[in-house]
């Protein structure tokens, strides 16, 4: 892949991630971090939402895949490997977010997949798969 192709791919990926973050914000989620790089992997988006009535913190680790077609081959996205790498960081992520709240709460960490389609300079959420780790 040439440098130009790589730049276009990164720009498209960044647009897709921003689109998903905006959608999550409309659902009451707050962005914790995005594009966290470690030695062995990268996490696209981490968002959370606190439910005061249930004293529950919902933490979402989201892998965003942005494509210019409707052809998303889930078998070739490498999600099982990605989940294995991200799982190592879950307790640190949970601890960072839990520390933002004074009240003791129950929190759940979920690993989701957002499939975004880009066409004619517009983005659409093709599919959002919650708890994809349970499917792997």
Torsion of CA 67, 18, 21, 87, to 10 degrees: 60
pLDDT at position 103: 62
pLDDT digits 0-9 by tens, 11-49? 899 999 999 999 999 999 999 999 998 777 889 999 999
* Spatial CA neighbour of 44 closest among 58, 24, 66, 62: 62
Q: How many whole angstroms separate alpha carbon 2 and alpha carbon 6? A: 6
CA angle at 80 for the pair 76 and 83, rounded to the nearest 5°: 130
pTM of the model: 0.86
Task: Give me the domains of the chain, ranges plus CATH numbers.
Answer: 3-135 (3.40.1350.10)
Strand 56-67 vs strand 42-51: parallel, antiparallel, or unpaired?
antiparallel
In SS3 terms, 27-83 reads as CCCEEEEEEEECCCCEEEEEEEEEECCCCEEEEEEEEEEEECCCCCCHHHCCHHHHH
The more confidently predicted of residues 101 and 120 is 120
CB-based contact 31:79 (threshold 8 Å): no
pLDDT digits 0-9 by tens, 56-82? 889 999 999 998 877 777 677 778 888
Q: How many whole angstroms separate alpha carbon 29 and alpha carbon 26? A: 7
């Amino acid at each position: 892949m040439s440098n130009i192709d790589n730049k276009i791919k990164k720009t498209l990926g960044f647009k897709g991630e921003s689109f998903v973050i905006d959608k999550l914000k409309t659902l009451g989620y707050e962005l914790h971090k995005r594009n966290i790089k470690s030695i062995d992997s990268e996490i696209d988006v981490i968002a959370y939402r606190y439910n005061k009535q249930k004293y529950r913190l919902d933490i979402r680790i989201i892998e965003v895949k942005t494509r210019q077609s409707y052809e998303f081959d889930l078998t070739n996205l490498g999600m099982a490997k990605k989940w294995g790498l991200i799982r190592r960081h879950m307790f640190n992520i949970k601890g960072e977010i839990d520390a933002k709240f004074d009240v003791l709460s129950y929190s759940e960490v979920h690993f989701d997949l957002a499939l975004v389609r880009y066409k004619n300079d517009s983005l659409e959420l093709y599919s959002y798969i919650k708890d994809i780790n349970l499917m792997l």
